[in-house]
Amino acid sequence: MGTQYQLLSLFADGGWMMYPLVLCSLIALGVIIAKAWTLFQAHHGTARVLQDVEGAALGGNIDEAMRIAADTPGPAAAILLVGLRRIRNRKLVEGEIEKAVATTGTIELGFLERGLVILATIANVAPLMGFLGTVAGMILAFGAIEAAGDVDPTLVAGGIKVALLTTAAGLIIAVPVNIAYNFFVTRIDQLIVDMEQGAQKIINLAWDLEKSGRIQIVKATAE
């Protein structure tokens, strides 16, 4: 109860700039939770789906391979699925799978990066808001000195306290948000590797099926 009262007291003493700072922290927390879950789901099961899809497709069961890819979340599975749909047609134009995989990869990468701009913005803006609160607090302090015509510590203490509280709040928000942003960027880099593995797997699978005579790859006609 005492700690809660102290936090509320500090919030009140921080002035009006504490409201946008708290709003930034709540938005960042929501994005971090959603992003962490999304990236976990996207990476989970990638190695298994690559192996299972290859085994089912080489065994001649393209429909089963498509079902496995469709039931597995993540960008690698999405790339496998779009390639398998074209392999099921039995006749492919040379380069068709590569183009489809590249398009799907671009779409999936855009989905993975969604929300990062919000975290980057908050990580940059929160300290600036804190510094703005610092400037406002110092203005209050010097205004009190000017009104009193004398330098009295009790007059300037309130303004200096506002300055320190808003600066601390901005940094407290920015540091973990920046750490989360960099962590998510690292995870997305790993997912890009997963997508490249999925793309290479489906291309190799197409050529293996073509060599065994189960599908046909024809050269693209010049327009």
| Domain assignment present for 6 | no
Residue 2 lies in a domain: no
Query: For residue 112, which of 68, 66, 65, 79 has the smallest C-alpha distance?
Result: 79
Which DSSP string corresponds to 122-142?
A: HHHHHHHHHHHHHHHHHHHHH
Q: Give me the numbers of helices (H) and strands (E) for the chain, helices first please.
A: 8, 2
Give the distance, in angstroms, between the CA of residue 169 and the centroid of all CA atoms in the same chain: 24
In a domain, 3, yes or no: no
Number of domains in the chain: 1
Residue 223 included in any domain: no
| Tens-binned pLDDT, residue by residue, of the chain (223 aa) | 445 546 566 666 666 788 889 999 999 999 999 999 999 888 888 888 888 888 888 887 888 888 988 888 888 888 988 888 888 777 666 678 888 888 888 898 898 899 999 999 999 999 998 888 877 777 776 676 667 666 666 666 666 776 778 888 899 999 999 999 999 999 999 999 888 888 888 888 888 877 777 676 666 664 4
**Does 198 map to a domain?**
yes
Tell me the whole-structure pTM to 2 decimals: 0.80
Domain around 157: 17-217
On whether the CB atoms of residues 86 and 96 are closer than 8 A, the answer is yes
